[in-house]
A and B are shown apart, each in its own frame.
Chain A
């Protein structure tokens, strides 16, 4: 049996997916902590234990994400954009536009029917389109991160933020708390601001339906609703949006291994022919 491993070491979470064929055999995520190397090692061991697979049975490993170089056991590194594209393509083959909301940046990706990249845009140095911004706001409002989505849906009069900048929005949110605005209305306003920012990234690459959301932002139901309103479309969200890039890394690992096997077989055949 051949297994392939994808590890996505993000700035906040490390995700791992073990596949056999196109089936997920095991998946896990944990905090990246401050030592990416040991986190990646530990996650790998846990994945192998969960799937009852020995290290020798892993044919190929691809690492991706902010800390990809810390996965010393990886055979190769790949960029998050391609991994994300391949991961979504497996889950939702009809998707042509992806919104990947990670901790330090948001990415929008246009793909073709094979999950290959057609175009992309990244929020770059601006924090206003990132998941970390939501964490900052959760702290300001003393709300658990997982609660901000459902809470924002209870808003009756979302506030309007005057800038698209994370730094200014944070101080603006603090002012709003002191002025007595409800947490629900502040959070709904934040989601609207984020949705506007991400939507402008989408405009740069031109939306093509269907569109899916992945990354940690995919867990925020309030943000998803705000994006749907902003873009005027329904969005697809995978059951486990955070592991999509790791899944894509595993799929790339599988593809590389297949290509290498194919190349070796072709070489052997040639040698036999000569013989």
Chain B
């Protein structure tokens, strides 16, 4: 069979950033061999990672590893193992992958044979957060069936209501978060038997904020028509910032290189998808097992130019006035989770976590369509999609296409079904281009 043509033009500077994920897992295996601490972390708030790194703990992320396993085509083994241990099919694909992996690890007495990227070694610590997602409250607790490791959950207030914009609310939220971080430091010092290196933490926090600033600037460049960076590249580079996969100082340099490459492409009028006909916003996480599918869409001139806000870095705010690194961590994190609430409130939109940023993104990135990927096993990434569909149609006259699937379980995704709707969706996108023009919207 002839090899499938790859249509999406990938950024050269993406590869070293993507390579950081491999290095992250390799480092954890090395640490494990050397008897140094390894933490299994949920994508929590970035603060947790910085604190762990300052204590010289290697961090790996079962959520990211789920994506790795799906892309490598081995996730099904772990999913089936998880099922046979009695966990239901409808819980999060990442969690099922992780639980199945842990079950095999226990049965085989170490990293399961054939685990991609060298596997995840047994953790010395489990660090999670219930923020964002219901599965997370119980997932790491359920790992207790397979391993014995101390668990810490980082929490923060959920400020997605108008009352959270009231006078002094932010002050109290930040105070709470700083207190949470102090307790986390005490837990780490107790568990690891050493003191926090505050100077190192200060440096890591500053570097992390700078890294996210540069990554944010790269994404700002994607507003240009035609867009030089497809979502495929975004997803490949995202772990470097989202999971702090490498040293943030070095990662910042890699993102700067990417900025330069993208800027050069813009100057030359180059796009990620030759002959960009339609610009799309993608929600939420992609089908990691079928990323080649996006080449089928790119062949039609569909360029995915922006994705879920939850995986994007926050808009930069200057935090240099705050000397306490824990406060900088708290404020940076608060900006990520709640920075857009004020804008949403001013625009008369719901403050709910996932809705409003899409309205801003679709408008600012001049999208023709909204490509939604409801996930059978993830309520957090799905429950707002219908709402977003309605708001985008009512407010911006932008249509949506739904492609049902899953991040990990390929049996739930049918790419042909999506392609069969593509012609019709193109016709709808063209129709609404005319409607927007008539209504004075500028794209």
Contacts and interface: CB of A to CB of B under 8 A. Distances in A.
Contacts, number: 40
Interface string B396-439: 00010010100000000000010011111101101110000000
A51 interface: no
A81 B424 contact: yes
Contacts of B420: 79-80
Contacts of B417: 124
Contact of A117 (B386, B393, B404, B424): B424
A66 B106 CA distance: 46
Interface string A195-206: 000000000100
Interface in A51-92: 78-82, 85
A152 B392 CA distance: 40
Contacts of B386: 204
A120 B423 contact: no
A85 B424 CA distance: 10
A117 B431 contact: yes
A73 to B, nearest CB: 20
B422 A120 contact: no
A125 B428 contact: no
Interface string A175-218: 00000000000000000000000000000100000000000000
Contacts of A125: 404
B387 to A, nearest CB: 12
A120 B431 contact: no
Given A117-B428, A125-B404, A79 B399 contact: no
Interface in A120-159: 120, 122, 124-125
B404 A78 contact: no
A80 B404 CA distance: 19
A248 to B, nearest CB: 12
Nearest to B420: A79
A112 interface: yes
A66 B420 CA distance: 9
Given A119-B399, A125-B404, A112 B424 contact: no
B428 A82 contact: no
Nearest to B404: A124
Contact of A82 (B424, B430, B431): B424
Interface in B215-238: none
Contacts of B421: 79, 81, 120, 122
B291 to A, nearest CB: 22
A25 interface: no
Given A119-B399, A125-B404, A81 B423 contact: yes
B423 A79 contact: yes
Contact of B427 (A80, A82, A122): A82
A200 to B, nearest CB: 11
Task: Output the residue of A80, A116, A117 with the most chain B CB within 10 A.
Answer: A117
Contact of A112 (B393, B402, B431): B431
Nearest to A124: B404
Nearest to B417: A124
Contacts of B427: 82, 116-117
Task: Output the residue of B399, B404, B417, B423 with the most chain A CB within 10 A.
Answer: B423
Interface string B111-130: 00000000000000000000
A122 B425 CA distance: 12
A79 B419 CA distance: 9
Nearest to A110: B428
Interface string B142-181: 0000000000000000000000000000000000000000
A109 B427 CA distance: 12
Nearest to B402: A124
Nearest to A69: B416
A65 B430 CA distance: 23
Nearest to A68: B420
Contacts of B432: 118
Contacts of A204: 386, 389
A127 to B, nearest CB: 14
Contacts of A124: 402, 404, 417
Contacts of B430: 116
A91 B35 CA distance: 76
A34 B431 CA distance: 38
Interface in A80-115: 80-82, 85, 109, 112
Nearest to A65: B420
Given A78-B423, A79-B422, A118 B431 contact: yes
Task: Output the residue of B399, B422, B430, B432 with the most chain A CB within 10 A.
Answer: B399
Interface in B50-67: none
Contacts of A119: 393, 399, 428
Interface in A17-46: none
Contacts of A120: 421, 424-425, 428
B404 to A, nearest CB: 6
A103 to B, nearest CB: 15
A204 B425 CA distance: 15
Nearest to A66: B420
Interface of A: 78-82, 85, 109, 112, 116-120, 122, 124-125, 204
Closest 7 CB pairs of A and B: A81-B424, A117-B427, A79-B423, A117-B424, A118-B431, A117-B428, A79-B420
30 contacts: A79-B420, A79-B421, A79-B422, A79-B423, A79-B424, A80-B420, A81-B421, A81-B424, A82-B423, A82-B424, A82-B427, A85-B424, A109-B424, A112-B431, A116-B427, A116-B430, A116-B431, A117-B427, A117-B428, A117-B431, A118-B428, A118-B431, A118-B432, A119-B393, A119-B428, A120-B425, A124-B402, A125-B404, A204-B386, A204-B389
Given A81-B423, A119-B399, A125-B404, 11 more contacts: A79-B423, A109-B424, A116-B427, A118-B432, A119-B428, A120-B424, A120-B425, A122-B421, A124-B404, A204-B386, A204-B389
